[in-house]
């Protein structure tokens, strides 16, 4: 694949717009393990610039999207809501408007967007809300130390257990915040918070309890409604680490029983490489191995013709069907993110040429379905399962251009993203978060924020 190597002038212009530190590794300070991507070179591919859009135009588009999603009309545009303050400062949540809840997925995405945009106020307010309401602190709850994946926006629980994608993005955004802004105290000691969560993800003790569980010791117990496929709520529940040690893979959930499979869209090798350098020393080798395992897993989990991955998969890559999610063996909402994940890894590290093949494959298939008309759910062999065309899926497929071969197909997706309006209305949460992050990725402004001294 051809990569754009920018001259110093546009790189410095981009740095001025986003206050980006241009980190070039001194001669002799890099190794083969660093790959040949943006981590080593400091250069980030700009798909919009390749289409003739200036840095100023990209900045205007990114700023407008952020302002609408974070500070636009509360009824039709915004997903970010400030709700007073406590002893730690302002509180704010990101909400899934259609489902009327706040999820660790969206909260951690909001934090990642905020740190990339240099918006410390919004970052801290979201993190404060997450710690105040989502963090499980009752020692009798087997998930103690994790974050409840779904909460009502008034701070009462909709779940008493976590989802690992939230913890993953919490960790990465906190490390970036530590490196960009420096550490404060308490919950704003970003590095200490990231270290705690990352260590727990691998070393959480296996704990068993009988529900109903509390999130906080002084709160009433939470009894979620019983749903098909979920373990009976009157039986012991066991929770452990968020990773499978033998396979070096992230789990769908850390609960025993449903923790025996994975979600391809949770695999973030680009992040794991950084954790292998920045995380707790005793776990660094594990995360380096996890990055390699995830790259290999992408090859196994994607269809060899369409490039589509399922929502859930076994560790050998086979689709994993479940009763509680009938679409889980197909390409559905979670799956939109998988191509973006391997493409960001390719951009940052450039360690696996097969990620180029995967991006070409999925873009070719969806291009054949119509860039502006493809469905947002498919069987893995390419049969449409919906009639909806979703901006969020378009955005992540455009981001796949970071790993795709330059040409008319990749160009068509970048153009479609550029021309798409900022999501609004009832579906603005998931579409909007993926759209916003894809703008940052595709413009070369989703950066690795390194510590000043390595």
Sorted by sequence, the CB contacts under 8 Å of residue 71 that are 6+ apart come out as: 78, 80
Three-state SS across 34-93? HCCCHHHHCCCCCHHHHCCCCHHHHHHHHHHHHHHHHHCCCCCCCCEEEEEEECCEEEEE
Strand partners, 208: 238
Q: In this structure, are residues 81 and 61 in contact, taking their beta carbons and an 8 Å threshold?
A: no
DSSP 315: T
What span, in angstroms and rounded, lies between the C-alpha atoms of 426 and 351?
Answer: 39
Residue 422 gets which letter from DSSP? P
CA angle 295, 297, 298 (to 5 degrees): 70
Is 334 annotated in the active site? yes
Two tokens, residue 130:
């997450």
Question: How far is residue 106's CA from residue 121's CA, in Å, rounded to a whole number?
Answer: 17
Residue ranges with strand state E in 126-217: 150-152, 207-209
Q: Say if residues 322 and 312 touch (Cβ distance below 8 Å).
A: yes
CA distance 252 to 259: 6
Structure tokens at 34: 């660093």
Q: Which of 334, 345, 352, 355 is catalytic?
A: 334
Does residue 105 have an active-site annotation? yes
Catalytic residue among 46, 101, 105, 431: 105
Residue in the structure block whose two tokens are 């589509």: 308
| Gap between the Cα atoms of 307 and 296, Å rounded | 14
Q: Return the active site residues.
A: 105, 334
């Amino acid at each position: 694949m051809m990569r754009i190597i920018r001259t110093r002038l546009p790189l410095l212009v981009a740095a001025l717009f986003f206050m980006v530190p241009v980190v070039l590794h001194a001669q002799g300070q890099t190794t083969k393990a660093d790959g040949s991507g943006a981590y080593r070179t400091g250069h980030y591919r700009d798909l919009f610039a390749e289409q003739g859009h200036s840095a100023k135009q990209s900045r205007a588009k990114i700023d407008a999207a952020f302002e609408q999603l974070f500070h636009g009309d509360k009824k039709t545009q915004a997903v970010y809501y400030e709700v007073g303050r406590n002893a730690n400062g302002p509180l704010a949540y990101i909400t899934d408007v259609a489902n009327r809840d706040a999820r660790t997925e969206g909260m951690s995405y909001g934090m990642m967007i905020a740190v990339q945009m240099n918006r410390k106020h919004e970052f801290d307010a979201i993190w404060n809300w997450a710690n105040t309401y989502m963090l499980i602190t009752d020692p009798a709850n087997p998930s103690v130390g994790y974050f409840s994946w779904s909460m009502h926006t008034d701070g009462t629980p909709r779940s008493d257990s976590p989802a690992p994608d939230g913890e993953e993005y919490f960790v990465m955004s906190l490390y970036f915040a530590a490196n960009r802004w420096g550490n404060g105290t308490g919950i704003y000691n970003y590095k200490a918070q990231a270290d705690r969560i990352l260590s727990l993800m691998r070393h959480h003790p296996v704990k068993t309890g009988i529900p109903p569980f509390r999130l906080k010791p002084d709160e009433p117990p939470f009894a979620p409604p019983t749903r098909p496929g979920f373990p009976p709520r009157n039986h012991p529940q066991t929770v452990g680490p968020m990773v499978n040690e033998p396979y070096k893979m992230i789990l769908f959930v850390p609960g025993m029983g449903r923790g025996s499979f994975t979600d391809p869209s949770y695999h973030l090798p680009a992040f794991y490489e950084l954790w292998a350098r920045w995380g707790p020393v005793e776990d660094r080798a594990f995360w380096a191995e996890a990055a390699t395992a995830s790259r290999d897993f992408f090859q196994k989990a994607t269809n060899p013709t369409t490039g589509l991955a399922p929502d859930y998969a076994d560790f050998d890559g086979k689709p994993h069907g479940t009763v509680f999610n009938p679409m889980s063996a197909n390409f559905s909402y979670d799956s939109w993110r998988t191509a973006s994940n391997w493409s960001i890894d390719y951009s940052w590290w450039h360690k696996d040429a097969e990620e180029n093949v995967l991006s070409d494959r999925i873009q070719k298939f969806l291009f054949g379905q119509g860039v502006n008309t493809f469905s947002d759910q498919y069987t893995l062999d390419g049969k449409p399962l919906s009639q909806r065309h979703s901006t969020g899926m378009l955005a992540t497929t455009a981001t796949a251009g970071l790993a795709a071969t330059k040409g008319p197909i990749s160009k068509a997706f970048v153009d479609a993203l550029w021309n798409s309006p900022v999501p609004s209305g009832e579906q603005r949460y998931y579409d909007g978060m993926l759209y916003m992050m894809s703008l940052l990725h595709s413009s070369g402004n989703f950066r690795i924020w390194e510590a000043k001294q390595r």
